[in-house]
Amino acid sequence: MKIETLHYADSKRDSVVVSHGGGSITVLPWPCATWHAEPVAAWIASNGGAIPDAPAPALSYAQLRSAAYPSIGDQIDAIAKMAEALRDVGASLPAATVEWLEARAAVKAAYPKAQLAALQPAAE
């Protein structure tokens, strides 16, 4: 068996994935007690003496794009500031948006940042 690559299957390290050409892979229990043990041991010895960890999974397009956006909280804050700016210049806003801005202002008035900072325990 010609081994092209070998790595642990996952973080449990109780199995290894062996790639041996043409897209063919074999998953073996680790430590290996089959006829594969000798070629696996030879590969390990000739490749630094250790089995590499499982590669990090490739992120999908959606995961990459999602990770690149600002947090949902930051996005909502930006939308609220835009709605407030439109309201402040006299733009007509939908009733639901006005209610949302009023509810947001009420929460900010009830829990001002200065008051919340005073409630936080001191760092030790």
- Residue 41 in domain: yes
SS3 (DSSP) at 13: coil
Indicate whether 3 pLDDT > 80: yes
Do 114 and 73 lie in a common domain? yes
Nearest to 15 by CA among 35, 38, 39, 40: 40
Report the alpha-carbon distance of residue 1 to residue 25 in Å, rounded: 11
10, 39: one domain: yes
Report yes or no on 38 lying in a domain. Answer: yes
Q: Return the C-alpha torsion angle 33, 39, 41, 46, nearest 10.
A: -170
Do 72 and 115 belong together in one domain?
A: yes
For residues 22-45, average pLDDT:
87
**Taking 70 as the threshold, does the pLDDT of residue 48 lie above it?**
yes
What the block records as the tokens of 80 is 């609220």
Query: Is residue 39 domain-shared with residue 74, that is, in the same domain?
Result: no
- Percentage of the residues of the chain whose pLDDT score is greater than 90: 36
Could you tell me the pTM of the whole model? 0.48
Helix (H, G, I), strand (E, B) or coil at 88: helix
Number of folded domains that form the chain: 2
Is residue 105 in a domain?
A: yes
Tell me if 56 is assigned to some domain: no
What is the domain range of residue 100? Answer: 67-119
Which tens digits make up the pLDDT trace of 64-107? 788 788 889 999 999 999 999 999 999 999 999 999 999 999 99
Residue 60 included in any domain: no
- The mean pLDDT value for 54-58 works out to 81
Distances (CA, A) of 64 to 54, 71, 78: 20, 14, 22
pLDDT band at 122 (very low <50, low <70, confident <90, very high): low
Q: Is residue 20, in this structure, part of any structural domain at all?
A: yes
pLDDT in tens, 19-32: 887 778 889 888 88
